[in-house]
Amino acid sequence: MISQETLKKIKQIEIHTRRLLNGSRVGDTRSKTRGSGFEFDQIREYQTGDDVRFIDWKSSARMNKLLVKQYIEERSRCVMIALDGSASGMFTSAAQTKYNLMSEVAAVLALVAEYGNDSSSLVLFADAVQQFIPPNKGRNHVHTLMQHIFEHKMIANSGAAKFRTPDKIQVDSTRGESFDRIRTGGAPSETKLSLGKTTFRLPLEHIARLRRKDALVVLISDFIDIQAEQGIEKFLGALTYHCEVVAIRCLDVFEDALPNVGFLTVEDIESGGRALIDTRGYSRERLQAFLRDRKTTQENFLKKYGIDFIDITPGKPFMNDIVCFFRRRMTY
């Protein structure tokens, strides 16, 4: 049973998306390949291997040579949406969490596919593939996708684990230690629930094994540490070989630049690890350099496999940018 809140959200997304798309069919893609589709292209001279069913006998008799009708092949694509539902999506510095924004983007893409008579599919993942909805068409199918997207629940480690007060927390602002090596003392308790930590390898492997050569695969995530995951290159390479892959990266403004507020306690929402950092002076410069380098490393890793990407940020409009971005890719 779909909740009233979910129904309201689906309706709002649907109205805004259709209003933006009204007037042009985004997904009515036409292949440059000549084939036996529905739209007539031209009459040309018969060539060896042409299907005799397409011989135009009246034109052939009039011109005294065999002529065939040629059509433009019409195709539909499969839009496979791989949505990161891990606990890091709960982070935000705005009224909207990263997952809320990513879920709205995923819903818009499903509606764009349905509007253009393309099929859509959902792979919802965190530490494993949590939900897979096979490709299909139609409004009921899209509403099913949107229901699973909006009703997905994440479990953060901070809500599942009990922390002791750290025995010692040290931040050395005089040495050249990188931000990711800031040391913390103490440890969380041993009682933990499912953390929802991001694993990219399993969803990529799942999609690659489907072998949908007509697929447009859309990865929606913050992509933090994707390049460091063991075995990721094998499956990403296999996927980009068979399919067109694009990425939508969702980062909060505080993941681009932390505010200057002095000492700040931070927590990894997926692992539960905590640290005290200094956001002033030289320490701030190192923090900013770390965040810049992390984004650049992500971008270089995606570009290595020919994956184009677009950035979205919680609290900022995205609809027009997303639709324009995909209009270019939904046309052959």
Q: Which of 19-33, 65-79, 162-176 has the lowest mean pLDDT?
A: 162-176
Contact status, residue 82 vs residue 125, Cβ threshold 8 Å: yes
Q: Is the pLDDT of residue 11 over 90?
A: no
For 189-218, the pLDDT digits (tens) are: 332 333 457 889 999 999 988 888 778 899
Q: Is the pLDDT of residue 172 over 50?
A: no
Interval 287-293 mean pLDDT: 90
Domain residue limits, the chain: 4-24+76-327, 30-74
Q: What value does the mean pLDDT of the chain take?
A: 76
Contact status, residue 208 vs residue 238, Cβ threshold 8 Å: yes
Ordered strands of the 67-74 beta sheet? 30-35, 67-74, 39-45
Q: How many CB atoms lie within 10 A of CB 1?
A: 5
Better-predicted residue by pLDDT, 239 or 10: 239
pLDDT interval class at 293 (50, 70, 90): very high
The kind and range of the H/E element at 70 are: strand 67-74
Q: Is the pLDDT of residue 144 over 70?
A: yes
Q: Which of 148-152, 177-181, 243-247 has the lowest mean pLDDT?
A: 177-181
Q: Is the pLDDT of residue 98 over 90?
A: yes
pLDDT interval class at 14 (50, 70, 90): low
**Model-wide pTM > 0.75:** no
Q: Which residue has the tokens 């020919």?
A: 306
Does CATH place domain 4-24+76-327 in 3.40.50.410? yes
